[in-house]
Structure 1
Amino acid sequence: MSTGAVGMVRTASRRVVGVEPFFMEFIAGAEEVLTEDGLSVLLAVVVDEAAELAMYARWAAAGTVDAVMVTNVLVDDPRPALLAELGVPAVAVGAWDGPPPLPSVRADDAAAMSAVAEYLLGLGHRSIAHVTGPATYLHTRNRVTTLDRVCEARGVVPVTVEGDYSDLAGARITRALLTDAEPPSVIVYDNDVMAVAGLHVAQELGIAVPADLSLVGWDDSALCQLTLPPLTTMTLDVHLLGRLVGAAVLATLAGSPPQDQPVVPARLSIRGSTAEPAAGR
């Protein structure tokens, strides 16, 4: 008998969950498909990985959910094995090679970051900073290694600083980068919230965007188009990602064998926050 729920656990501070538009848009896309079969998303917000694993165990013991959507796939992720042991069907939001076998829906982060890097290097930037999400996330590692690889081929060494997707981290890291003795000419952020916070810091410091500093966001929520200047960003159809994951959940519950879904395409949307670096940068 169906519980009517598909679980999703978000491991982050409640502040991050409250300000980040990505997951609400993702859930909206997933529910658009899941509701066709009478299902909805049950969201739990926890503080760390141990609490997330404990939540899955409680859900399994109580029969709370029909399936789980595993977000932010980790390097050496323990969750697929636990869910298989608990007998809870699951779909990974992100690349997963197994074992155990698990259907997955993902964006091509390597191709996306390669496009960003080629664009910025083509503009002439040689001092590039990258403000990432948590380093334990597989997509963070893929973006970092891709940026390093593309830049290395041009003799450029980017600076990487780990963030947590929050506005506070975006502001704090940006302030440190811009007040350094050798500030970057461009900063790439792994989500829009950190990018918007970074833009505000640049404006507070009297640094003109894009004349003196270029900024690039990621995911392309409405935030990016409401700033002044509008932010150049990597555009990902998050709603489509949610729909594809919802469809993969329904297929899994119907007994389909695990199989990867189509990769969600991403494209670079060039707006007013990027330009050639200022002379001497």
Structure 2
Amino acid sequence: MVPNKRITIADIARLAGVSPGAVSFALNNRPGVSDATRKRILAIADEHGWVPNSAARALVGSHVGVIGLVVERPARSLGAEAFFTDLISGIQSGLTASGAAMQMRVVRDFDDEVATYRAWHSSKQVDGVIVLDPREDDPRLDLISQLRLPAIVIGSHPAEAGRPPAVWMDDAAAAHIVFDYLYALGHRHIDYVAGPEEFEHTRLRAEVLRSLAEDGVTSNITFTDFSAGRAATVTRQLLSGRSVPTAIVFDNDVMAVSGLRVALEMGVSVPTELSIASFDDSVMAGLVSPSITCLSRDTFELGELAASRLLQQIESTEPIESIPGPTSTLAVRESTSPPRISRER
């Protein structure tokens, strides 16, 4: 055999002294060969590092052993977000037992994401996909359903009829955990530096804050691109107005750290003059000074659940049920306290 040449089923058949059909039965754990022959074939395949040819399997309608994940975020800032680091690690952990791999693509916008799903489906590159950041009346979910591409949505509620199943977390309830805590501390001017407005979880969080107007809370909501630079700009603007907030909540830990830095640069004491909180937790949020109060949830477990559910959906001929994801708790740290100094200008 030529060194470094990919071993084929025909090669294994020759070495084992059996037909290629017998090798196929053994490698795919199908009946038709004796236990002794199966063990001999598997030992030869393992010895020579045989792996299935994904392209060939796709042509005959078999699984290719790959799932897809598309992320619409600025590529420069993606690596800094602990949420994605933990989520991707969890997904990989959830795939380990099956031997499946993950193909990830970072895209610039919504149209690129839709084009990616179409390309993956037409070329049979993936068996299914995990969908992030659902929108209201999300056309991606309609497309995925039309393509009959197995999918799991990481979202804010169970799937509607005819939509892919979800691993979901109640983002409205989670928002209440953060905003109600600040309200209980005595804050009545709470601003929210959010991600893109079209994302469902962002909209739900904003609606919860707006609802506190009935209880006398003044608020400003600014939608951004999740980046540290944009968070810094918005924080500087909020702290430079005539009436500044006593608390600011950021959509992720990177934005919160950026906002904290701006506040300290401007001579605003945290938490004496300004409380800061985040909807994403991370090691970084706990190490900065003052450490940042965050909504905490097991994002690694979320990734594991999404991966395992997607593998189940790939094997099922019917839509599986949506399931709740990890529960959210509030990690209270040094960056929040009752408002003690008014900063009216």
Q: TM-score, normalised by structure 1?
A: 0.96
1:221 match: 282
2:18 match: none
Contact 1:178 1:184 (8 Å CA) reproduced: yes
Give, in angstroms, the shift of residue 46 of structure 1.
0.7
Give, in angstroms, the shift of residue 247 of structure 1.
1.5
Question: Aligned partner of 1:118: which letter?
Answer: D
Counterpart selection for 1:245 from 286, 299, 306: 306
Whether 1:110 aligns to 2:172 is: yes
Give, in angstroms, the shift of residue 166 of structure 1.
1.0
Question: Aligned partner of 1:233: which letter?
Answer: C
Whether 1:178 aligns to 2:239 is: yes
- Tell me the C-alpha RMSD between the 2 structures: 1.3
Give, in angstroms, the shift of residue 226 of structure 1.
1.2
Distance across 2 between alignment mates of 1:101 and 1:78: 11
Give, in angstroms, the shift of residue 279 of structure 1.
3.2
Contact 1:133 1:164 (8 Å CA) reproduced: yes
In structure 2, runs of 5+ residues without a counterpart are: 1-61
Contact 2:70 2:131 (8 Å CA) reproduced: yes
Give, in angstroms, the shift of residue 99 of structure 1.
4.5
Q: Deviations over 1:90-117 (max 9, x none)?
A: 1101035434231101221111111112
Runs of at least 4 residues off by over 6 Å: none
2:205 match: 143
Q: Deviations over 1:174-222 (max 9, x none)?
A: 1111111111110001111100000111111111111111000122111
1:16 match: 77
2:294 match: 233
2:46 match: none
Distance across 2 between alignment mates of 1:231 and 1:98: 36
Question: Aligned partner of 2:98: which letter?
Answer: D
Which SS does the other structure have where 2:77 is aligned? helix
Distance across 2 between alignment mates of 1:18 and 1:116: 25
1:130 match: 192
Contact 1:20 1:166 (8 Å CA) reproduced: no
Whether 1:167 aligns to 2:228 is: yes
Distance across 1 between alignment mates of 2:291 and 2:123: 47
Question: Aligned partner of 1:202: which letter?
Answer: A
2:256 match: 195
Which SS does the other structure have where 1:65 is aligned? coil
In structure 1, runs of 5+ residues without a counterpart are: none
Deviates more, 1:34-43 or 1:224-233: 34-43
Which SS does the other structure have where 2:216 is aligned? coil
Q: Deviations over 1:13-34 (max 9, x none)?
A: 2123132121121011111111
Question: Aligned partner of 2:94: which letter?
Answer: V
Whether 1:257 aligns to 2:298 is: no
Whether 1:212 aligns to 2:273 is: yes
Distance across 2 between alignment mates of 1:254 and 1:93: 19
Structure with bigger RCO (C-alpha 8 Å, 6+ apart): 1
Contact 1:131 1:170 (8 Å CA) reproduced: yes
Distance across 1 between alignment mates of 2:194 and 2:188: 19
Which SS does the other structure have where 1:219 is aligned? coil
Q: How many residues align?
A: 280
Question: Aligned partner of 2:265: which letter?
Answer: E
More strand by share: 1
Contact 1:6 1:40 (8 Å CA) reproduced: yes
Distance across 1 between alignment mates of 2:230 and 2:86: 22
Distance across 2 between alignment mates of 1:244 and 1:83: 20
Question: Aligned partner of 1:178: which letter?
Answer: L
Distance across 2 between alignment mates of 1:19 and 1:280: 34
Which SS does the other structure have where 2:97 is aligned? helix
Counterpart selection for 1:67 from 121, 128, 148: 128
Give, in angstroms, the shift of residue 157 of structure 1.
2.7
> Which of these two proteins has the greater Rg computed from alpha carbons?
2
Q: TM-score, normalised by structure 2?
A: 0.78
Identity %: 37
Whether 1:278 aligns to 2:340 is: yes
